A and B are shown apart, each in its own frame.
Chain A
Amino acid sequence: MSTRELERLRLVDDDGARMPIGVGLRSAHYEHILAERPPVAWFEVLSDNYMHTRGRPLMYLDRIAEHYPVALHGVGLSIGSTDPLDFGYLAELRALRDRVGARWVSDHIAWTGVAGRHGHDLYPLPFTEECVRHVARRVAEVQDFLGAPLVLENPSTYLEFAGCALSEPEFVAALLEETGAGLLLDVNNVYVNANNHGLDASTYLRRLPLERVVQIHLAGHGVAAAVEADGVEAAHLIDTHAAPVAPAVWELFEQAVRLGARAPVLLEWDADIPPFGVVYAEALRARVHIERALAAEATCQAEARAWAQSHAPGALA
């Protein structure tokens, strides 16, 4: 899939920055959204919550999709599993996409079950060339079935398999290159994984193919502590989606924008969900960071131009 094809997936906001700010649709907010019609640019819909149902969740979704652009985001595709692809699941996913006119369909670079069992969680993959090929074959099948590029998210992880030949960003980049899929850049996940696996978050970010970003996720995380066998307490981060975005994640987000990530931005809040106004206000904070990042980029470019002009032939004459 070319970047031009990915381009067609993108939403464009009023200021042309291609970074409209959306909110993850949650059932706790249905009534508020329908009654107040907040000026949210778009909603991301958790596709699995609207599959295997013919009832009330779809009723609300239909009404909301009449008024807002939506994109689908799933957790159940299990694209990395060694189990056969579930074409029943895919058929339902495609029907849901067509029903609500979703702009794109995303899921995670992960697996959720094996041997016919389901864990309902996002489990990590070994970062090897062979695994890239395994997942890429499945992505290709899914893209053929959906008739559209898939958008894949870098997931949060708490363990890495031994014997990985690639780093996580190298694995993600190779997979996207192999399949032409889009990237859902979850900035919080980059930060969480960098902390949990002793990586440098900025370096991780720079190694991702940011020109393939179709959507950006922001979310809050929590800190957990574990006492190890040697009595030492070790902290790790959990991708809880239950708190405001951490300052360090905002900084990383700014860096992503400066590095060229231009895509719709979305705030996820999945546990201890506050009133809609609080969630939306947190999402809108992204605007400040986008403007700051773009201003910094403009300053850099102006300085570079000035430097080039001052060093151009004849400039000293």
Chain B
Amino acid sequence: MGTEPRAGGARVRDAPRSVGCESELGAAQRWLFQRVTRPLHASRPEPADEARWVRGGSLASGTRIAVYQRAYFSRLVECLRDDYPALERAVGAADFEAWCLQFIEAHPPASASLNFFGAGFADFCATWGSPHAAFWSDLGRLEWAVVECIHADAARHLVPDQLGALTEREWSRARLVPSPASRIVDTRFPVHAHHAALLAGENPEPPAREASTLVVCRRGETVWRLPVEPRWVGLLRRLVRSEPIASAIAAASEPVLQSDPAGAGAGDALQRVVSEWVARGVFAGVSVD
């Protein structure tokens, strides 16, 4: 091998295109891919078809193809397992895998990245023929929010000093900027405690239906799952929509004060809840119009 640089790329580009070859290669690739992604329960095609494309040797062609076929499905099942650990525990490993295989057949990967392959799995859960399907779907939506927060940018987060530095004039025009790594999750079942219990290795009975809201957010390496009391859900939504902070707090405080005319502790509670959202990274910063 010489030591002088050589324009290997240019030489290759000048080579004539072999369209016939690429067409044959494409046909071979499409054939193998169709075989590899065939459902595991599907009946095997004629061995003669396999022998036309694949050299057999010590192993039959079908056995060789089956190595890739099993790998295709097991890799994708593994991906869903990683994204939905609590759901797998709740459903049971065997049923979870069976549903994964159905999901894979219905929604084959559409991207070169597997990071978001499981995006539709929680909705798919809702179609499962089980009395717990709606609960499992909620559990899945919480787990998917965690995945989204893991992959979202959380480089910036609001620090309390930024709010403290606002002048009175600025305060009326200040808005919070939500972190890209935060999600509000509304559920039909109170999944938060159940999710934590499942991850801790317990397997409690699904809870009774009761609407609830969580905010999932990431700050640094930690993903937080914070249940939101019903009285603060409106405030959280307004702040995440970047409504002016002052008017969001005023609007949110009104019903709270109506239910507690003396206002005993309401102001402190509001300060505590907003402080927690700020500390956990729900907001990336503050802007002033």
Contacts and interface: CB of A to CB of B under 8 A. Distances in A.
B21 A56 contact: no
Interface of A: 1-5, 48, 51-57, 59-60, 76, 78, 81-82, 86, 89, 111-115, 117-121, 123, 125-126, 128, 130-131, 133-134, 136-137, 139-141, 143-144, 158-162, 164, 178-180, 196-198, 209, 211-212, 224, 226, 228-229, 234, 236, 238
A197 to B, nearest CB: 7
Given A2-B5, A51-B113, A117-B109, A228 B12 contact: no
A317 B205 CA distance: 97
Interface in B55-73: 55, 57-61, 63-68, 71-72
B113 to A, nearest CB: 4
Contact of A118 (B32, B68, B109, B180): B109
Given A123-B32, A134-B18, A76 B113 contact: yes
B59 to A, nearest CB: 5
Given A133-B12, A143-B9, A212-B1, 5 more contacts: A1-B5, A52-B113, A60-B221, A89-B112, A119-B36
Contacts, number: 196
B197 interface: no
Nearest to A212: B1
B242 interface: no
Contacts of B113: 48, 51-52, 76
B26 interface: yes
Contacts of B1: 2-3, 209, 211-212
Contact of A53 (B2, B21, B115): B115
B212 interface: no
Interface of B: 1-6, 8-13, 15, 17-18, 21-22, 24-26, 28-30, 32-33, 36-37, 51-55, 57-61, 63-68, 71-72, 75-76, 108-116, 149-154, 180-181, 218, 220-221
- What does DSSP make chain A's interface, helix, strand, loop or mixed? mixed
A1 B71 contact: no
Contact of A120 (B2, B57, B72): B72
Given A118-B111, A211-B1, A180 B53 contact: no
Contact of B29 (A111, A137, A141): A111
A134 B112 contact: no
Nearest to A54: B153
A158 B117 CA distance: 26
B58 to A, nearest CB: 6
B284 to A, nearest CB: 13
B111 A131 contact: no
B8 A178 contact: yes
B36 A117 contact: no
Contact of A198 (B58, B67, B114): B58
A162 B55 contact: yes
